[in-house]
Each structure stands twice: as structure tokens, then as C-alpha cells.
Amino acid sequence: VFLNQVKKISPNEIIIINDRVENLKDIDCDILTSRAFSSLDKLFSVCCNFNIKNKMLLHKGSSFADELDQAKKHWLFDLKIHDSITPGMGKILEIYNLRKIDT
């Protein structure tokens, strides 16, 4: 519902894919967003083969710092953290330049 409202008011072309990310292949997008999906590490693993041209905008709850620490064990990325307007300790993580750490 939220993304449909964004689509209505945005002057940009927005395509909403309402499917499980595990079912998607060959995704080419400017921005990827998710809410209540899974840990950052799992999300990055599932999406690492997508062509995300700009950034990820991820709504995360109060455990976002722990998720960042875990993800940094396997991934390199640039990050900006924004306060969420939702109640609680949620944050919006703006992630770009995602790349897997070679092991």
C-alpha cells in the first residue's frame, strides 16, 4: 500500500514487483527497498546478483546495529542511517556500493 502511494505521487517511473525476492532473477533497478524481510546478511545474499544502480533503502527495527555488525563480516558497503517516522527505534538504512568480501 505504501509503495502504491509513493508511485501515485512520484514523477518517476516506479515498477512494484509484489513477489518473494527468492523468486526473482535478472532484476535491474535503480533502488531496491524492503521492509520486514530478514537479516541484512540474508537480504544481501539473496540480492547480490541484482543490478541495483543506485542504492537500497531498508526499513530495519531496533536490532539494526547488530544486523550491521553481522553483515560487515561478509559484505562491504557504504551506509547512511536515517531516523524512521514509525514508532520505536526503527531506522532507514541507505546502502550503496554493496560488494561481497572475498574469502
Three-class secondary structure of residue 30 per DSSP = strand
Amino acid (one-letter) located at 42: K
pLDDT for 103 beyond 70 = no
Neighbours of 75 (CB within 10 A): 18
Label the pairing between strands 75-83 and 91-100: antiparallel
Do residues 74 and 44 lie in contact, with contact meaning Cβ atoms separated by under 8 Å? Answer: yes
Q: For position 96, what pLDDT does the model report?
A: 93
Summarize pLDDT for 16-35 with one digit per residue, the tens: 888 888 888 888 888 888 87
Prediction pTM value: 0.83
Neighbours of 46 (CB within 10 A): 16
pLDDT for 2 beyond 80 = no
Residue 94 DSSP symbol: E
Summarize pLDDT for 33-83 with one digit per residue, the tens: 887 788 999 999 988 889 999 999 999 988 899 999 999 999 999 999 999
